[in-house]
Amino acid sequence: MKIVHSPVKQIIELENHIFLLKIHSPEIANSIKPGQFLNIKVSDNIYPLLRRPFSVCDVEGENIFLMFNIFGEGTKILAHKKIGDDVDILGPLGNGFNFEDDFDTAIIVAGGLGVAPFPFLNRYLKDKEIYSFIGGRSSKDVITYKIINPEISTDDGSLGFRGTVVELLAQNLHRINNRKVKIFACGPNAMLRALRELCLEKNLLCEASTECAMACGFGICQGCPIESSNNPDKYLLVCKDGPVFNISEVII
């Protein structure tokens, strides 16, 4: 973990107010793993005071990519960065995905901006067969940037399967019979809760990247608790013990 100041190389709007920020940061690019995150200070002004957590969308050479939408004042400032502007980065932080388990088929399950960490993870899954199930409330919320073999669901039926992405996955589980499968997931908590129930029912191995409001990003403030399913009296920290957890081991 270190603090680095890295220049913006490019910022583009992919679609529907989704931004992709390219930052030249060899220190981060050479050390970060898929699923880890960065805590970014978006401005030197008094407000916004706290850093914002961002998963790394991709790494190419010495450049890292962040995907985000404008949700508040902090992301609005980030979206208006210019080429050459400095970005104050703390990271890498947290624990990422374990892609070295014994499996031959990877299933990506993502809702909305939950797709963000998977272009980077896919680089480490090149020897695996990959299925991707991508969901959104409507077609405008579906993001497929660098997603491999995407199958789409929307709550309103405006694109692909009408229903949730977990329902779409459940209808396609027959395609992976007799395979060593691991699911990698990221998305809204409601999606992760439904996915957890499905994985427990079907005895599927799944790791999920969880989200939570954070302050420090490395465990000092104790501000991002998540309940352990193994010990009801114990809370884990999303920033330090996660953000990636075996989905059966936490209560989302």
Give 112-128 pLDDT, tens digit per residue: 999 999 999 999 999 99
- Cα–Cα distance, 116 to 53 (Å, whole number): 12
Residues 234 and 159 both lie in one domain: yes
Tokens linked to 10: 């490019």
Structural domain count, the chain: 2
152 vs 52, 168, 183, CA distance in Å? 29, 8, 16
Check residue 176 and give its pLDDT. Answer: 87
Check residue 44 and give its pLDDT. Answer: 75
Residues 114 and 61 both lie in one domain: no
Residues 126 and 86 both lie in one domain: no
Longest Cα pair distance anywhere in the chain, in angstroms? 56
Q: Does residue 63 belong to any structural domain of this protein?
A: yes
Residues 19 and 85 both lie in one domain: yes
Residues 112 and 220 both lie in one domain: yes
- Cα–Cα distance, 116 to 109 (Å, whole number): 11
Report the pLDDT averaged over residues 8-18.
89
Tokens linked to 20: 């992709």
Coil, strand, or helix at residue 222?
Answer: coil
Check residue 219 and give its pLDDT. Answer: 85
For the cut 90, the answer to whether the pLDDT of residue 166 exceeds it is: yes
3 state SS for 162-209: ECCHHHHHHHCHHHHCCCCEEEEEECCHHHHHHHHHHHHHHCCEEEEE
Residues 117 and 178 both lie in one domain: yes
Confidence of residue 48 (pLDDT cuts 50, 70, 90): low
For the cut 90, the answer to whether the pLDDT of residue 92 exceeds it is: yes
Q: pTM of this prediction? A: 0.95
DSSP 247: G
Check residue 47 and give its pLDDT. Answer: 60
192 vs 67, 153, 209, 242, CA distance in Å? 20, 15, 9, 15
DSSP 52: E
Check residue 178 and give its pLDDT. Answer: 85
Check residue 72 and give its pLDDT. Answer: 83
Task: State which residues form the domain around 235.
Answer: 105-251
Residues 208 and 156 both lie in one domain: yes
Confidence of residue 216 (pLDDT cuts 50, 70, 90): confident
Tokens linked to 192: 């992760």
Residues 68 and 120 both lie in one domain: no
Confidence of residue 171 (pLDDT cuts 50, 70, 90): very high
Report the pLDDT averaged over residues 41-65.
86
Q: Does residue 21 belong to any structural domain of this protein?
A: yes
Query: Radius of gyration of the chain from Cα atoms?
Result: 18
Count CB atoms within 10 A of the CB of residue 58: 23
Residues 121 and 78 both lie in one domain: no
Given 93, 113, 139, which residue is the final one in a domain? 93
First-residue to last-residue Cα distance in the chain:
27
Residues 17 and 61 both lie in one domain: yes
For the cut 70, the answer to whether the pLDDT of residue 46 exceeds it is: no
The rounded percent of the chain whose pLDDT value lies above 70 is 98
The enclosing domain of 168 has a CATH number of 3.40.50.80
CB-CB contact of 213 with 72 (8 Å): no
**Average pLDDT of the chain, as a whole number:** 93
- Cα–Cα distance, 157 to 146 (Å, whole number): 23
Residues 87 and 135 both lie in one domain: no
Given 43, 62, 93, which residue is the final one in a domain? 93
For the cut 80, the answer to whether the pLDDT of residue 89 exceeds it is: yes
Q: Does residue 100 belong to any structural domain of this protein?
A: no
What values do phi and psi take at 203, rounded to 5?
55, 50
